[in-house]
C-alpha cells in the first residue's frame, strides 16, 4: 500500500519524507486555506520535496474552466496529479487529461457506481471518502471492498486511493481489502507506530541496559 499525506504543511511533509514512508501528497482547497499560503507556491514546494504524485485540485465546476486551471497546475511540476470532482464535467476533464498523459485523481467518491464511471473515464486514482461515508451511517470499508471487486473484475488500472481516513483501523482494513493507496493526515500516519507493548518493551530493555553499566562506543 502506498502512503500519501493529506496536508499542505511543508514541515510535516519533509518529516515524513525523511522516514521513507511517503509516496505522495494530497491537497485540497480546505488544506490550502488552513495553511494560509499561496496555492501555487505551496504545491510547487511540496512537489519539490516529494517525488511521488502530488494532487492539486481544480476549483471550477465546468469543463472548459477545469481544463484551463488544470493547464496551469500541471505546469508546476511533472509529478502533479490533477484532482477533479466526480461530476460529468469532472470526468470529461479526466478523460481529456489522462489522454494527454496527465495523472488525474477523481475525488469525492461515495459509491461503487461512481468509482466505475471514474475508471471508465481513465482516472489514475479514485478517492472514496470512507470517514465521511461512515459519518452518515454507511460502511466506508464495504465501499472499498465493492470498488476492489469491480476493478478486479475488469482489470481497471485505476488505483483505489482511500481518503477521509480518520484512524489507524481505517488504514489496516483498507490494506486488508487491497486498496492501492491511502491518504491521511500526518498525525494518523504517526499513530500507526503506536502500541503499548512496543513502549513497554523499549522501557524494559533500557532499564536492563542501564543496570549493566555499559555504553556502546
CA dihedral 191, 196, 197, 202 (to 10 degrees): 80
Choose the catalytic residue: 78, 83, 176, 187. 83
HSE-CB at 168 with a 13 A cutoff on CA atoms is 8
- What cell was used for 68? 484551463
Phi, psi of 207 (to 5 degrees): -60, -45
Q: How far is 47 from 40, CA to CA, in rounded Å?
A: 11
Whether 83 is catalytic: yes
What is the CA 198 to chain-centroid distance, rounded? 27
Phi, psi of 162 (to 5 degrees): -70, 120
- Active-site residues, by number, are 83
Amino acid at each position: 500500500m502506498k502512503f500519501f499525506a493529506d496536508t499542505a504543511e511543508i514541515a510535516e511533509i519533509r518529516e515524513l519524507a525523511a522516514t521513507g514512508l511517503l509516496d505522495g501528497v494530497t491537497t485540497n482547497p480546505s488544506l490550502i486555506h488552513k495553511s494560509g499560503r499561496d496555492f501555487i507556491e505551496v504545491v510547487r514546494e511540496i512537489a519539490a520535496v516529494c517525488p511521488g504524485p502530488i494532487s492539486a485540485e481544480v476549483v471550477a465546476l465546468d469543463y472548459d474552466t477545469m481544463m484551463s486551471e488544470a493547464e496551469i497546475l500541471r505546469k508546476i511540476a511533472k509529478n502533479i496529479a490533477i484532482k477533479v470532482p466526480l461530476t460529468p464535467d469532472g470526468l470529461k476533464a479526466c478523460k481529456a487529461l489522462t489522454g494527454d498523459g496527465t495523472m488525474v485523481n477523481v475525488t469525492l467518491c461515495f459509491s461503487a457506481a461512481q468509482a466505475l464511471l471514474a475508471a471508465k473515464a481513465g482516472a489514475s486514482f479514485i478517492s472514496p471518502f470512507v470517514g465521511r461515508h461512515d459519518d452518515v451511517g454507511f460502511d466506508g470499508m464495504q465501499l472499498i471492498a465493492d470498488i476492489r471487486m469491480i476493478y478486479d473484475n475488469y482489470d481497471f488500472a485505476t488505483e483505489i486511493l482511500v481518503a477521509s481516513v480518520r484512524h489507524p483501523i481505517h488504514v489496516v482494513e483498507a490494506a486488508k481489502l487491497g486498496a492501492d493507496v491511502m491518504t491521511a493526515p500526518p498525525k494518523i500516519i504517526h499513530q500507526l507506530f503506536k502500541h503499548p507493548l512496543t513502549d513497554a518493551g523499549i522501557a524494559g530493555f533500557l532499564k536492563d541496559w542501564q543496570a549493566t553499566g555499559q555504553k556502546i562506543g
